[in-house]
């Protein structure tokens, strides 16, 4: 768990195998969010296993979001309320829906200290017909070295 | 152009405006769409996408002060200037 993390009321963070969850600095986890880092109790997990859910620095997870195992949420990404994340999220990307899909690029992370309108001002839609296809940076592959400490 | 952009913007927002008891004709320039509950982040994205599609352009808000981003008058004037290029 990183520093400056906010955990909302009634959030549930992988209770059975907490070592399978990695949370970076300044992450916001909304109320009633559910983060699951394993599916089956019958699977055997070792303490030295790589985390199954990696939430990088400055990620904003909205209320009532569900995050499923084997995903990385890239730094500065935003998961909107009620979404279900079943695939990795590229950095500085807003995702929405069930399953969560990218809807916008974020110019700045939506941190606790980021004015909301500053965040909005730098949001760029990904599906505008007038906009050339934007290529989001790929999510960090699970086997790449992690440049963070968290 | 500003009047056309304003009309296009408010046309896009007819339903959320109605949800807060407003019609496009009743919208003052100083109405903050965010504070009034007309739009949220998705509403803003939809608005941008709609206007970009309508005017076949890509909008840039970097020179619009954040405080004016969701205020009808400044936003409309900024959009009009962008679209006129």
The per-residue pLDDT for A99 is 96
Sequence-ordered list of residues with C-beta below 8 angstroms from that of A140, at least 6 positions apart, any chain:
A54, A56, A72, A74, A88, A146
pLDDT exceeds cutoff 90 at A129? no
Residue that wins the pLDDT comparison between A113 and A62: A62
Closest listed residue to residue A85, CA positions, set A63, A101, A62: A101
The per-residue pLDDT for A16 is 86
The per-residue pLDDT for A49 is 74
pLDDT exceeds cutoff 90 at A128? no
Sequence-ordered list of residues with C-beta below 8 angstroms from that of A116, at least 6 positions apart, any chain:
A110, B34
The per-residue pLDDT for A144 is 39
Question: Which chain B positions have a beta carbon within 8 Å of A104's beta carbon?
Answer: 41, 45
Note whether A44 and A20 are within 8 A (CB): no
Q: What angle do CA A23, A148, A99 make, to 5 degrees?
A: 45
Is B66 near chain A, with CB under 8 Å?
yes
**How many Cβ pairs within 8 Å bridge chains A and B?**
56
Convert the pLDDT of each residue in B38-51 to its tens digit. Answer: 998 888 888 888 88
Minimum-distance CB partner of A121 among B53, B55, B64: B64
Q: Is the dihedral of CA A67, A72, A76, A77 positive or negative?
A: negative
- How far is the C-alpha of A104 from the C-alpha of A90, rounded, in Å? 11
Structure tokens given for B14: 């007819």
């Amino acid at each position: 768990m990183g520093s400056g993390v906010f955990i909302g009321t009634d959030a549930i963070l992988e209770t059975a195998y907490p070592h399978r969850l990695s949370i970076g600095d300044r992450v916001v986890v909304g109320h009633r969010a559910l983060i699951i880092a394993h599916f089956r109790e019958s699977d055997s997990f070792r303490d030295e296993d790589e985390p199954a859910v990696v939430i990088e620095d400055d990620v904003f997870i909205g209320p009532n979001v569900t995050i499923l195992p084997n995903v990385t949420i890239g730094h500065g990404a935003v998961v909107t309320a009620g979404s279900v994340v079943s695939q990795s999220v590229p950095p500085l990307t807003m995702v929405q829906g069930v399953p969560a899909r990218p809807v916008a690029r974020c110019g700045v992370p939506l941190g606790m200290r980021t004015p909301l309108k500053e965040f909005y001002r730098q949001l760029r839609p990904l599906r505008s017909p007038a906009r050339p296809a934007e290529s989001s940076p790929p999510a960090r592959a699970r086997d790449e070295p992690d440049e963070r400490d968290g | 152009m500003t009047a056309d952009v304003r009309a296009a913007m408010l046309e896009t927002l007819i339903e959320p405006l109605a949800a807060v008891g407003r019609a496009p004709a009743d919208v003052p320039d100083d109405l903050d769409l965010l504070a009034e509950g007309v739009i949220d982040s998705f509403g803003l994205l939809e608005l941008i996408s709609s206007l970009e599609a309508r005017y076949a352009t890509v909008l840039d808000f970097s020179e619009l002060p954040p405080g004016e981003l969701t205020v009808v008058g400044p936003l409309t004037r900024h959009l009009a200037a962008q679209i006129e290029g």
